[in-house]
Amino acid sequence: MKRLLTATALLIATTGLASAEGTLQLYNWGNYTSPELLEKFEAETGIKVTVTDYDSNDTALAKIEAGGHGFDLVVPSANYVQIFVEKGLVQELDHSKLPSIGNIAPEWQNVEWDPSRKHSVPWQWGSVGISVNTSVYSGDPNTSALFLDPPDELKGKINVVPEMMDIVGLAIKYHGGEYCSEDLEVLKKARDSLMAAKPHWIAMDYGATEKMSNGDWAASVNWNGSSMRIRLDNDKVVYGYPKEGYPLWMDSVMLLSDAQNVDNAYAFMEFILKPENAALISNFARYANGIAGSEQFMDEVMKDAPEVVIPEEFKATGQFAPICNEKSREYMTAIWTELMK
C-alpha cells in the first residue's frame, strides 16, 4: 500500500559506527523506508542497505518477474503476496532465523494471504481513502463520488493514485459490487464511471504527499499515512473514508527466490520485528505496523490520529480485499488498461 515517489534509488551511507559486513538490496514503495531505521540497522550490523523505489504492486511484480533485478527483499501488499508465492518468486521463510517472529501481533500472525507467516513479515498497514483540502471543498469527504462524480469545486484538481486494485476496487464498491467481482453489469458501471471521471482529474500520480501539502492538488485518492503527513504540513487537509466501501491493506517483506544476500536479508527482517525498530518505520511513513509493543515507541501524534486509528463510524465499510482469481484480475486489468490509455 502506500507513499510518495522519491528518487529511484537511495543509498544509505555508512555511519562509521560499525565496519561494513556486506550489502542488502531492498525493493520498496517510494518514500516509505525510514532513513533513521536504515542508519540504525547499518550502525548495528555494518550492512549497507540500498533502497530502490517502485510506485505500484504491478510495477514491482513485473520487475521481479523479468529477472536480473539484483534485489533481495520486496514489500508487496496483501493481495499480491500469494501471486508472488504462486509464481515462485519468493522463498519460504526459515523461522529459526527470526527469533523475534513472535513479536508479530496476534491478529497479524495467521493472515489469510499468508497463513502462519510462511513467506512474509509485516511492514505497515492502513487504508485507501481520499485526502481533501477543505479550503477548496467543504462537503462530505467520506465518499468515492469525489473522484468518480466530482463536484465542480474539485474538477481539474483531483489526483488518482495509479494502483489498479485500489482504484478499480473503489469504483466497484461505489456501484454496490464486491471486490474481485465478476458481475459484468457492476464492472461495466465501474468502468464507465472511471472513464467519465478521468477528464476531471489533474493527474494519476503516486506523489500526493508533497503536492497536496503545497496546494497543487485539492484532492487525491490516497493512503492514510500519506494523508496524515499532508495534514501535519497543511491543517486544511482531511482524510475521508468512503462510505460505499474502501480497501484495507498490509504490506509485508518477502525474501526473493534469487536473493544474493540471504543472511543479510534475515538480519533485516529480524531487525524490523523488534518493537522499537518497527516504530521507526511508522514514525516516518505514518502508518500502523503489525508488531506488538511498537506503540510505546511511536510519536505522540500517531497514537490518536484519525488517519491511523480508524474512527468507529467508518470501521464497518473497510475491508481487506480478498485474493482475486485469474478471471476477476483479467476483468480489472482490462478496465485499467483502457483507463491508462
| Residue 215 domain-assigned (yes or no) | yes
pLDDT tens, residue by residue, 301-327: 999 999 999 999 999 999 998 889 999
* High-pLDDT (> 90) share of the chain, %: 92
Same domain, 114 and 243: no
Residue that is written with C-alpha cell 500502523 in the block:
288
Cα→Cα distances 258→53, 55, 120, 222, 254, Å: 19, 22, 16, 33, 12
Domain span at residue 67?
Answer: 9-125+249-302
Maximum Cα–Cα distance for the chain, whole Å?
Answer: 61
pTM for the model stands at 0.90
For 135-187, the pLDDT digits (tens) are 999 999 999 999 999 999 999 999 999 999 999 999 999 999 999 999 999 99
Looking at the fold, whether 216 and 239 belong to one and the same domain comes out as: yes
221 with 82, same domain: the answer is no
| Within-domain flag for 18 | yes
* Domain contains 4: no
One domain, residues 191 and 48? no
3-state DSSP call for residue 318?
Answer: strand
| CA separation for the pair 240, 246 (Å, rounded) | 10
| pLDDT at residue number 21 | 64
∠ CA 226-4-330, rounded to 5° = 95
Q: Are residues 281 and 316 in the same domain?
A: no
Number of independent structural domains in the chain? 2
Residue 220 sits in the same domain as residue 291: no
In the chain the beta strands, taken as DSSP E runs, fall at 9-11, 23-29, 48-54, 73-74, 121-133, 158-160, 201-203, 219-223, 237-240, 246-255, 318-320
Does one domain contain both 60 and 190? Answer: no
Q: Are residues 47 and 160 in the same domain?
A: no
**Lowest-confidence pick of 5-19, 117-131, 261-275:** 5-19
pLDDT surpassing 60 at residue 289: yes
Q: Which residues share a beta bridge with 281?
A: none
In this structure, what CATH number is given to the domain that contains residue 210? 3.40.190.10
pLDDT at residue 25, rounded to an integer? 98
